[in-house]
Amino acid sequence: MSIVDVARRAGVSVSTVSRSLRGETNVAAATHERVRRAVDELAYVPSPAAAGLATGRTSSIGVLASFDYRWFLTSVLEGVDSALRAAGYDLLMYNVGDAEARDHFFSSSPMRRRVDGVLAVAAVLTGEEQAVLRKLDVPVVAVNGIRTLLPRVGIDDEAGAAAAVKHLALLGHTDIAMISGNTDALVGTVTPRRAGFEAAVAALGHDTDVIVVDRWGAEGGIQGMDRLLTRSTLPSAIFTESDEMAFGALRSLRRTGVRVPEDVSLIGFDDHELAPALDLTTIAQPAREQGAVAADLLMNMIAGTADTSADIKLPTRLIVRGSTRRHLAAGDTESDEVRHGDFSEQPASSAPSATRSPPSAQSTLARSARGH
Protein backbone atom coordinates (compact mmCIF):
# COMPACT_ATOMS: atom_id res chain seq x y z
CA MET A 1 0.00 0.00 0.00
CA SER A 2 1.18 3.49 -0.82
CA ILE A 3 0.33 6.96 0.39
CA VAL A 4 -1.89 7.30 -2.72
CA ASP A 5 -4.03 4.40 -1.50
CA VAL A 6 -4.37 6.07 1.91
CA ALA A 7 -5.42 9.35 0.25
CA ARG A 8 -8.09 7.56 -1.82
CA ARG A 9 -9.47 5.68 1.20
CA ALA A 10 -9.58 8.85 3.32
CA GLY A 11 -10.98 10.97 0.48
CA VAL A 12 -8.25 13.61 0.73
CA SER A 13 -5.19 14.66 -1.25
CA VAL A 14 -1.80 13.02 -0.97
CA SER A 15 -0.31 16.23 0.43
CA THR A 16 -2.98 16.28 3.15
CA VAL A 17 -2.11 12.70 4.13
CA SER A 18 1.58 13.66 4.26
CA ARG A 19 0.88 16.69 6.47
CA SER A 20 -1.40 14.65 8.71
CA LEU A 21 1.21 11.91 9.18
CA ARG A 22 3.80 14.53 10.10
CA GLY A 23 1.46 15.83 12.80
CA GLU A 24 1.14 19.31 11.34
CA THR A 25 -1.49 21.47 13.00
CA ASN A 26 -3.01 22.92 9.81
CA VAL A 27 -5.05 19.75 9.23
CA ALA A 28 -8.54 19.58 10.71
CA ALA A 29 -9.15 17.10 13.51
CA ALA A 30 -11.80 15.26 11.50
CA THR A 31 -9.39 14.92 8.59
CA HIS A 32 -6.65 13.61 10.91
CA GLU A 33 -9.12 10.98 12.12
CA ARG A 34 -10.06 9.89 8.56
CA VAL A 35 -6.39 9.57 7.65
CA ARG A 36 -5.67 7.58 10.82
CA ARG A 37 -8.51 5.15 10.08
CA ALA A 38 -7.33 4.71 6.49
CA VAL A 39 -3.76 4.02 7.67
CA ASP A 40 -5.03 1.40 10.15
CA GLU A 41 -7.36 -0.28 7.64
CA LEU A 42 -4.67 -0.51 4.97
CA ALA A 43 -1.83 -1.34 7.40
CA TYR A 44 0.14 1.43 5.73
CA VAL A 45 3.72 2.04 6.88
CA PRO A 46 5.27 5.36 5.79
CA SER A 47 8.51 5.06 3.81
CA PRO A 48 11.47 6.67 5.64
CA ALA A 49 13.10 7.38 2.29
CA ALA A 50 9.99 9.18 1.02
CA ALA A 51 9.72 11.12 4.27
CA GLY A 52 13.33 12.13 3.91
CA LEU A 53 12.73 13.53 0.45
CA ALA A 54 9.88 15.65 1.79
CA THR A 55 11.56 16.91 4.97
CA GLY A 56 15.29 16.72 4.23
CA ARG A 57 15.67 14.40 7.25
CA THR A 58 17.08 10.86 7.31
CA SER A 59 15.57 9.75 10.64
CA SER A 60 18.99 8.31 11.53
CA ILE A 61 21.53 9.24 14.19
CA GLY A 62 25.23 8.39 13.85
CA VAL A 63 27.07 7.07 16.91
CA LEU A 64 30.85 7.45 16.93
CA ALA A 65 32.58 5.38 19.62
CA SER A 66 35.41 3.10 20.63
CA PHE A 67 34.06 -0.44 20.93
CA ASP A 68 36.87 -1.22 23.42
CA TYR A 69 34.92 0.62 26.12
CA ARG A 70 32.16 -1.99 25.98
CA TRP A 71 30.42 -1.61 29.33
CA PHE A 72 30.11 2.16 29.10
CA LEU A 73 29.14 2.11 25.42
CA THR A 74 26.44 -0.54 25.98
CA SER A 75 25.03 1.36 28.96
CA VAL A 76 24.99 4.66 27.08
CA LEU A 77 23.34 3.06 24.05
CA GLU A 78 20.53 1.70 26.23
CA GLY A 79 19.70 5.27 27.20
CA VAL A 80 20.18 6.59 23.66
CA ASP A 81 17.98 3.89 22.13
CA SER A 82 15.15 4.37 24.62
CA ALA A 83 14.97 8.07 23.75
CA LEU A 84 15.52 7.88 20.00
CA ARG A 85 13.35 4.84 19.31
CA ALA A 86 10.33 6.63 20.76
CA ALA A 87 11.01 9.50 18.33
CA GLY A 88 11.36 7.18 15.31
CA TYR A 89 15.14 7.42 14.84
CA ASP A 90 17.48 4.62 13.75
CA LEU A 91 21.13 4.31 14.85
CA LEU A 92 24.19 3.96 12.63
CA MET A 93 27.28 2.78 14.54
CA TYR A 94 30.88 3.66 13.65
CA ASN A 95 33.89 2.23 15.50
CA VAL A 96 36.91 4.51 15.92
CA GLY A 97 38.64 2.35 18.52
CA ASP A 98 41.84 1.82 16.54
CA ALA A 99 44.00 4.08 14.41
CA GLU A 100 43.11 2.43 11.08
CA ALA A 101 39.35 2.64 11.65
CA ARG A 102 39.68 6.20 12.89
CA ASP A 103 41.71 7.36 9.89
CA HIS A 104 39.24 5.72 7.50
CA PHE A 105 36.23 7.32 9.15
CA PHE A 106 37.57 10.87 9.22
CA SER A 107 39.03 10.67 5.72
CA SER A 108 35.91 9.24 4.06
CA SER A 109 33.13 10.91 6.12
CA PRO A 110 30.71 7.96 5.71
CA MET A 111 27.97 9.76 7.67
CA ARG A 112 27.62 12.60 5.17
CA ARG A 113 23.95 13.01 4.11
CA ARG A 114 23.08 9.82 6.02
CA VAL A 115 22.32 11.16 9.51
CA ASP A 116 20.42 14.01 11.15
CA GLY A 117 22.84 14.22 14.06
CA VAL A 118 25.90 12.62 15.68
CA LEU A 119 26.69 11.33 19.17
CA ALA A 120 30.42 10.98 19.93
CA VAL A 121 30.65 8.57 22.89
CA ALA A 122 33.70 8.80 25.20
CA ALA A 123 35.91 9.75 22.27
CA VAL A 124 38.97 11.99 22.41
CA LEU A 125 38.56 14.19 19.33
CA THR A 126 41.32 16.37 17.90
CA GLY A 127 40.57 19.82 16.56
CA GLU A 128 40.79 18.48 12.99
CA GLU A 129 38.39 15.64 13.78
CA GLN A 130 35.90 18.05 15.33
CA ALA A 131 36.14 20.17 12.19
CA VAL A 132 35.30 17.12 10.04
CA LEU A 133 32.19 16.48 12.14
CA ARG A 134 31.12 20.13 11.89
CA LYS A 135 31.38 19.93 8.10
CA LEU A 136 28.59 17.34 8.17
CA ASP A 137 26.34 20.34 8.89
CA VAL A 138 24.32 18.43 11.48
CA PRO A 139 24.25 18.78 15.29
CA VAL A 140 26.96 16.86 17.20
CA VAL A 141 26.87 16.03 20.93
CA ALA A 142 29.75 14.50 22.90
CA VAL A 143 28.89 11.92 25.56
CA ASN A 144 31.40 11.89 28.42
CA GLY A 145 35.03 12.37 27.41
CA ILE A 146 36.95 15.63 27.58
CA ARG A 147 35.08 18.92 27.19
CA THR A 148 35.73 20.34 23.72
CA LEU A 149 34.04 22.93 21.52
CA LEU A 150 31.16 20.48 21.11
CA PRO A 151 28.11 20.46 23.40
CA ARG A 152 28.59 17.69 25.96
CA VAL A 153 26.71 15.48 28.38
CA GLY A 154 28.85 13.69 30.95
CA ILE A 155 30.10 13.77 34.52
CA ASP A 156 32.77 15.66 36.42
CA ASP A 157 35.56 13.06 36.22
CA GLU A 158 37.96 15.17 38.26
CA ALA A 159 35.47 15.57 41.11
CA GLY A 160 34.71 11.84 41.02
CA ALA A 161 38.39 10.94 41.34
CA ALA A 162 38.78 13.46 44.17
CA ALA A 163 35.83 11.83 45.97
CA ALA A 164 37.61 8.47 45.76
CA VAL A 165 40.73 9.95 47.34
CA LYS A 166 38.65 11.65 50.05
CA HIS A 167 37.01 8.33 50.92
CA LEU A 168 40.40 6.63 51.29
CA ALA A 169 41.83 9.55 53.27
CA LEU A 170 38.90 9.53 55.69
CA LEU A 171 39.63 5.86 56.27
CA GLY A 172 43.10 6.87 57.41
CA HIS A 173 45.11 6.01 54.28
CA THR A 174 48.07 8.26 53.51
CA ASP A 175 50.00 6.16 50.97
CA ILE A 176 47.55 6.13 48.07
CA ALA A 177 48.50 5.04 44.55
CA MET A 178 46.59 5.20 41.28
CA ILE A 179 46.56 2.75 38.38
CA SER A 180 45.85 4.84 35.29
CA GLY A 181 45.64 4.28 31.57
CA ASN A 182 48.08 5.49 28.96
CA THR A 183 47.37 9.08 27.97
CA ASP A 184 47.42 7.99 24.31
CA ALA A 185 44.29 5.89 24.91
CA LEU A 186 41.21 6.89 22.93
CA VAL A 187 39.13 7.01 26.12
CA GLY A 188 38.32 10.53 27.25
CA THR A 189 38.43 9.86 31.00
CA VAL A 190 42.19 9.29 31.35
CA THR A 191 43.41 12.86 31.75
CA PRO A 192 40.64 14.34 33.96
CA ARG A 193 40.49 11.41 36.39
CA ARG A 194 44.25 11.43 36.83
CA ALA A 195 44.20 15.21 37.29
CA GLY A 196 41.49 14.91 39.93
CA PHE A 197 43.45 12.22 41.76
CA GLU A 198 46.70 14.18 41.72
CA ALA A 199 45.04 17.40 42.88
CA ALA A 200 43.22 15.67 45.74
CA VAL A 201 46.34 13.86 46.95
CA ALA A 202 48.40 17.05 46.75
CA ALA A 203 45.76 18.94 48.74
CA LEU A 204 45.99 16.32 51.48
CA GLY A 205 49.78 16.55 51.54
CA HIS A 206 50.13 12.79 51.00
CA ASP A 207 52.75 10.85 49.07
CA THR A 208 51.67 9.19 45.86
CA ASP A 209 52.84 7.08 42.97
CA VAL A 210 50.86 7.28 39.73
CA ILE A 211 51.24 4.11 37.66
CA VAL A 212 50.77 4.57 33.94
CA VAL A 213 50.12 1.36 32.01
CA ASP A 214 50.29 0.61 28.32
CA ARG A 215 46.72 -0.61 27.97
CA TRP A 216 43.41 0.61 29.28
CA GLY A 217 41.05 -1.92 30.91
CA ALA A 218 41.54 -5.14 32.88
CA GLU A 219 44.87 -5.98 31.22
CA GLY A 220 46.19 -2.56 32.16
CA GLY A 221 45.03 -3.15 35.74
CA ILE A 222 47.04 -6.38 35.86
CA GLN A 223 50.16 -4.70 34.51
CA GLY A 224 49.84 -1.71 36.82
CA MET A 225 49.31 -3.89 39.88
CA ASP A 226 52.26 -6.07 38.94
CA ARG A 227 54.42 -2.95 38.86
CA LEU A 228 53.20 -1.91 42.30
CA LEU A 229 54.01 -5.38 43.63
CA THR A 230 57.67 -4.92 42.71
CA ARG A 231 58.00 -2.11 45.27
CA SER A 232 59.57 -2.79 48.63
CA THR A 233 56.27 -1.84 50.28
CA LEU A 234 52.77 -1.68 48.93
CA PRO A 235 50.59 1.39 49.29
CA SER A 236 47.80 0.91 51.79
CA ALA A 237 45.19 1.99 49.22
CA ILE A 238 44.85 2.01 45.44
CA PHE A 239 42.50 3.98 43.20
CA THR A 240 42.00 2.63 39.69
CA GLU A 241 40.81 4.77 36.82
CA SER A 242 38.01 2.33 36.05
CA ASP A 243 36.34 -0.71 37.57
CA GLU A 244 37.73 -2.84 34.75
CA MET A 245 41.24 -1.86 35.78
CA ALA A 246 40.30 -2.72 39.37
CA PHE A 247 39.23 -6.20 38.21
CA GLY A 248 42.69 -6.73 36.74
CA ALA A 249 44.34 -5.39 39.90
CA LEU A 250 42.26 -7.80 42.02
CA ARG A 251 43.48 -10.72 39.92
CA SER A 252 47.14 -9.83 40.50
CA LEU A 253 46.63 -9.27 44.21
CA ARG A 254 44.85 -12.58 44.71
CA ARG A 255 47.50 -14.49 42.75
CA THR A 256 50.19 -13.12 45.07
CA GLY A 257 48.25 -13.62 48.29
CA VAL A 258 47.68 -9.94 49.06
CA ARG A 259 44.32 -9.57 50.77
CA VAL A 260 41.70 -6.96 49.88
CA PRO A 261 40.88 -5.00 52.00
CA GLU A 262 42.95 -6.42 54.90
CA ASP A 263 46.31 -5.62 53.28
CA VAL A 264 45.27 -3.14 50.58
CA SER A 265 42.08 -1.12 50.08
CA LEU A 266 40.94 -0.87 46.47
CA ILE A 267 38.46 1.56 44.91
CA GLY A 268 37.37 1.81 41.27
CA PHE A 269 35.34 4.16 39.10
CA ASP A 270 32.14 3.53 37.07
CA ASP A 271 30.05 0.97 39.01
CA HIS A 272 30.43 -1.63 36.27
CA GLU A 273 27.77 -4.34 36.30
CA LEU A 274 30.31 -6.78 37.80
CA ALA A 275 31.38 -4.43 40.61
CA PRO A 276 28.73 -5.65 43.11
CA ALA A 277 29.64 -9.31 42.48
CA LEU A 278 33.30 -8.53 43.25
CA ASP A 279 32.34 -6.39 46.27
CA LEU A 280 34.20 -3.42 44.81
CA THR A 281 33.91 0.04 46.32
CA THR A 282 33.53 2.49 43.46
CA ILE A 283 32.50 5.90 42.20
CA ALA A 284 29.27 5.27 40.27
CA GLN A 285 28.50 7.22 37.13
CA PRO A 286 25.00 7.23 35.52
CA ALA A 287 26.00 5.89 32.10
CA ARG A 288 22.50 5.04 30.87
CA GLU A 289 21.17 8.41 31.95
CA GLN A 290 23.99 10.17 30.11
CA GLY A 291 22.86 8.45 26.91
CA ALA A 292 19.21 9.43 27.39
CA VAL A 293 20.04 13.07 28.23
CA ALA A 294 22.46 13.32 25.27
CA ALA A 295 19.83 11.91 22.90
CA ASP A 296 17.26 14.43 24.13
CA LEU A 297 19.77 17.27 23.75
CA LEU A 298 20.61 16.15 20.20
CA MET A 299 16.94 15.93 19.17
CA ASN A 300 16.33 19.41 20.58
CA MET A 301 19.33 20.70 18.63
CA ILE A 302 17.93 19.11 15.46
CA ALA A 303 14.67 20.92 16.16
CA GLY A 304 16.59 24.16 16.79
CA THR A 305 15.47 24.50 20.41
CA ALA A 306 18.64 23.67 22.38
CA ASP A 307 21.75 25.50 23.56
CA THR A 308 24.56 24.50 21.23
CA SER A 309 27.19 25.30 23.90
CA ALA A 310 25.64 23.11 26.61
CA ASP A 311 27.91 21.27 29.05
CA ILE A 312 25.62 19.08 31.17
CA LYS A 313 27.27 17.28 34.11
CA LEU A 314 25.33 14.53 35.87
CA PRO A 315 26.26 13.64 39.47
CA THR A 316 28.45 10.72 40.52
CA ARG A 317 28.18 8.99 43.90
CA LEU A 318 30.37 6.92 46.17
CA ILE A 319 29.25 3.32 46.68
CA VAL A 320 31.03 1.71 49.63
CA ARG A 321 31.43 -2.06 49.45
CA GLY A 322 33.88 -4.51 50.94
CA SER A 323 37.09 -3.65 49.07
CA THR A 324 37.93 -0.62 51.24
CA ARG A 325 38.32 -0.40 55.00
CA ARG A 326 39.87 1.68 57.74
CA HIS A 327 43.67 1.70 57.75
CA LEU A 328 44.52 0.16 61.13
CA ALA A 329 47.39 1.15 63.37
CA ALA A 330 49.55 -1.63 64.82
CA GLY A 331 47.58 -3.68 67.35
CA ASP A 332 44.19 -2.28 66.32
CA THR A 333 41.29 -4.58 65.54
CA GLU A 334 38.37 -3.94 63.26
CA SER A 335 34.66 -4.43 63.77
CA ASP A 336 32.18 -5.01 60.96
CA GLU A 337 30.77 -1.55 61.68
CA VAL A 338 34.14 0.07 61.07
CA ARG A 339 34.85 -1.99 57.98
CA HIS A 340 31.61 -1.18 56.18
CA GLY A 341 30.91 2.29 57.52
CA ASP A 342 30.79 5.17 55.05
CA PHE A 343 33.41 7.64 56.31
CA SER A 344 32.80 9.92 53.32
CA GLU A 345 30.19 11.88 55.26
CA GLN A 346 32.51 12.61 58.18
CA PRO A 347 34.58 15.80 58.34
CA ALA A 348 38.22 15.31 57.43
CA SER A 349 39.29 16.05 60.98
CA SER A 350 37.51 12.91 62.20
CA ALA A 351 39.33 10.57 59.82
CA PRO A 352 40.94 7.63 61.65
CA SER A 353 44.69 7.95 62.10
CA ALA A 354 47.08 5.34 60.81
CA THR A 355 50.68 4.73 61.80
CA ARG A 356 51.27 1.15 60.67
CA SER A 357 53.54 0.76 57.66
CA PRO A 358 51.97 -0.81 54.58
CA PRO A 359 52.69 -4.51 54.11
CA SER A 360 55.89 -5.56 52.40
CA ALA A 361 55.32 -7.05 48.96
CA GLN A 362 58.15 -9.52 49.51
CA SER A 363 56.87 -10.65 52.93
CA THR A 364 53.38 -11.10 51.54
CA LEU A 365 54.67 -13.20 48.68
CA ALA A 366 56.74 -15.25 51.09
CA ARG A 367 53.71 -15.81 53.31
CA SER A 368 51.77 -16.95 50.25
CA ALA A 369 54.54 -19.38 49.26
CA ARG A 370 54.47 -20.92 52.76
CA GLY A 371 50.74 -21.58 52.33
CA HIS A 372 49.55 -19.03 54.89
10-residue stretch averages of pLDDT, the chain, 372 residues long: 82 83 81 90 70 63 82 91 83 82 82 86 79 86 79 93 96 94 64 90 81 82 93 92 95 95 96 97 96 92 82 95 87 50 36 37 40 36
Helix 218-228, helix 243-255: angle, nearest 10 = 50
pLDDT for position 57 = 67
pLDDT value at position 126?
Answer: 78
Residue 189 pLDDT: 63
pLDDT value, residue 329: 65
pLDDT at 306: 77
Is pTM beyond 0.75? Reply is: no
pLDDT at 293: 93
The C-alpha atoms of residue 349 and residue 177 are separated, in whole angstroms, by 22
Q: What pLDDT is stored for residue 186 in this prediction?
A: 54
